[in-house]
Structure formats: C-alpha cells, structure tokens
Amino acid sequence: MTLNRKAVVLFSGGLDSMLAIRIMQQQGIELEAFNVRTQFECCKMEASRMAHEFNVPITVVDTGPEYLKLIENPKNGWGKGINPCIDCRAHMFRLGVKFMEQVGASFLVTGEVMGQRPNSQLKHQLRKVELEAGLPGRILRPLSAKFLPPTEPEIEGIVDREKLYGIAGRSRRELIELAEKFNIKDVPQPSTGCRLTEPEYAHRAKEAWEHKEASGDRWHYELLKLGRQLRLPGGQKIVIGRNEKENTELAYLGSRLKGVAYYEPLNFGAPSAVSVAGDSDEVRGFVGGAFLRYAREYPDAPEVQVKTGGADSTFTIPGEPLTDEAIKALML
C-alpha cells in the first residue's frame, strides 16, 4: 500500500495512546482510533469517550474466537501467568492492519513505550510483533521513536522524526510532563492489568484445561474468575458465589453455558452455585452441604432449585453442612 498521511492508532484510552494521538495531530496526520476489547481486562478504560474528546473517530471490536485458542497454545509462550503478551499484541496488530486497509490508512500508530512492559515491549519484542503482524516498518511508536529504527513514514518525510520522542522504561514522569505540555487535563490512572497474569486465575485455567473444560468458550473463561471453585472426588467442578454480585453472575452464566446446572436455595439464605458437569446426586450432596455451611440459618428441610437447560427441579438437602476442612481440601 502506498504511504499517505492517514494512520490508524491503536487506542486503549490510556495516557500513552492519548499522547500518541496528540503527537500525530501536531504533525497533521489524519487519524482513526481502533480499540480491541478483551474479556480479561481488569480495568475498562473509556476509550470511546476519550477518542471523542480528542476529535478522533473510533471503532471498537472484540478479539474474536481465535483469541481464546491463542491463549491456550501461544506461539511465543506465556508470561508469569497464562498471558501470551507477544501473541496477544500481534493478534491486535493484525486486526489493526485489516482495519487500516478498510479505511485507506497506510500505517499504524501506538502509544507503546519501549521497556514499559517486560513481556512485550522490549526492543526485540517490538520488532517481533511487527513481523508477526505482517507490517514491518509501518508501525510508528512516537513516544519511543528515537530509540527505534526509523519507520517508513519517517523515512518518506510524512512524519518528522525530530518531533517524535525518546521515552523508555516504566516511569510515568516524562509521560505526565508531556501530558501537561499538551494540556491533557484528564490523565487516567494506569490500568490494573490483565487477568491472565493473575496466579489464581492462571491456575484455575490450567486446571480446567486438564479436565477438558473452558477450551475455546468465552463463557467458561468468565466463570473461572468467580467464586469458590471446588473439584469434587468424581471430577466434577462446582463454583459457589462469595457475594451478591457473584451470585448474579453465576445465575447469568448458568443460563448461557451448555451442560451446566445452576443451584439456588429456595427457603433459606445462601449463595448460588454452578456445576460445570451438570446435575447428579453427588453434586447435589456437595452443593447442599456447601449451602448449609455458608448459610447463617436454615430450616429443617432446606430446599434447593436446580436449573438445567430449561428444566427445573427441586431437592431437599439430605445431609449436614460441609466442614471448612472438607471444603479446603477440594478448593482450587
């Protein structure tokens, strides 16, 4: 594609990508913002609102089903959890390249800062991502450009390299100073990160893969972040809510996931639960015992409603509360 003065900026709504927009706008580059959402973000930044404030049109897309397969079997491996940072970044760039072609832009712009993220933003990793995205020489990183080889837009004079920056490392001091220079008042806090880096979440995901659960299914990945998760002696997994919000989410996921059973106390107060392996007498025994353990009080005949794919039934809990030791022994 012939170079022109239009670019797509990969835009998270964070400070780095806001600065990248301002730097390009100062050079008269026409921009379209492109935001890729993942279900693993711990902090949802307001990308659409911020793009509007910067007078840049924005398109928001989902990562797509292939992204989950990428997580499970990354070409370049995981970071400290199950975070495939290089593969993830390359995937987002490939989506950006497709969008770039659709809107007639000729290069990508990102707010990446060399060395800010050790799993994807070291110099050799930035180059690797370019190659895997199929766009070598056309990914411009204006905040760290002076530490990197000139890109084609710089070489061709479309972008003035002298007006780009040489920022590297994890400190935000220079970024904050640059925000003041560009009169950016609403400076967002750094993102709290990606759920895939969290040790507990990574452990649950790997354990689910071992039991042939979650693979390629976004709703199972949502379930992994919730509740107390127990693996029963028979191999079934149950998830028990810890608060009202999680109980609500379990009810929603229980209606979305195929083959699962959703459990809800009828005549007493207790959490909700989901069984990934469906309903059975063994599961009912453990769910009922857990409900009694977490209930403040319950009647002589505590009843539980079971929902399995549109079919509802009830049962009376047959046993005693599970002990803390029994629950701990099953906890993931």
181: three-class secondary structure by DSSP: helix
- Which of the residue ranges 26-30, 170-174, 181-185, 256-260 has the most confident prediction, judged by mean pLDDT? 26-30
Q: What is the DSSP letter of 319?
A: S
The domain spans of the chain are 6-181, 198-330
Confidence at residue 44, expressed as pLDDT on a 0 to 100 scale: 57
262 in Cβ contact with 250 (< 8 Å): yes
Indicate the pTM of the whole model: 0.86
Residue 219's pLDDT band (boundaries 50, 70, 90)?
Answer: confident
Report the percentage of the chain scoring pLDDT > 70.
97
In angstroms, the CA 42 to CA 40 distance is 6
Confidence at residue 120, expressed as pLDDT on a 0 to 100 scale: 63
Structure tokens at 110: 């990102």
The model's pLDDT over 76-104, given as tens digits with 9 standing for 90+, comes to 999 889 999 889 999 999 999 999 999 99
Which has more confidence, 45 or 64?
Answer: 64
Structure tokens at 187: 């400076």
Confidence at residue 114, expressed as pLDDT on a 0 to 100 scale: 87
Confidence at residue 119, expressed as pLDDT on a 0 to 100 scale: 66
Domain 6-181 in CATH 3.40.50.620? The answer is yes
The model's pLDDT over 10-52, given as tens digits with 9 standing for 90+, comes to 998 889 999 999 999 999 999 999 999 988 886 556 788 889 9
The model's pLDDT over 122-143, given as tens digits with 9 standing for 90+, comes to 787 888 889 999 999 999 999 9
83 in Cβ contact with 119 (< 8 Å): yes
116 in Cβ contact with 169 (< 8 Å): yes
Confidence at residue 43, expressed as pLDDT on a 0 to 100 scale: 55
Query: Burial level of 209, CB count in 10 A (0-12/13-18/19+)?
Result: middle
Average pLDDT, stretch 98-123? 88
Sign of CA dihedral 152, 158, 164, 170: negative
89: three-class secondary structure by DSSP: helix
240 in Cβ contact with 230 (< 8 Å): yes
Average pLDDT, stretch 311-325? 93
Confidence at residue 258, expressed as pLDDT on a 0 to 100 scale: 85
Confidence at residue 326, expressed as pLDDT on a 0 to 100 scale: 96
Confidence at residue 267, expressed as pLDDT on a 0 to 100 scale: 96
Q: Where are the beta strands (DSSP E) in the chain?
A: 6-10, 30-37, 58-62, 107-109, 139-140, 228-231, 237-240, 261-265, 273-275, 303-308, 311-316
Give the other-Cβ count within 10 Å of 59's Cβ.
Answer: 16
Q: Which of 16-30, 212-226, 267-281 has the lowest mean pLDDT?
A: 212-226
122: three-class secondary structure by DSSP: coil
- Give, in order, the Cα–Cα distances in Å from 57 to each of 30, 47, 53, 82, 232: 10, 11, 10, 33, 50
- Give, in order, the Cα–Cα distances in Å from 244 to each of 67, 241, 306: 30, 8, 18
In angstroms, the CA 255 to CA 251 distance is 7
Antiparallel, parallel or unpaired: β 58-62 and 30-37: parallel
Compute and round to an integer the Cα radius of gyration of the chain. 25
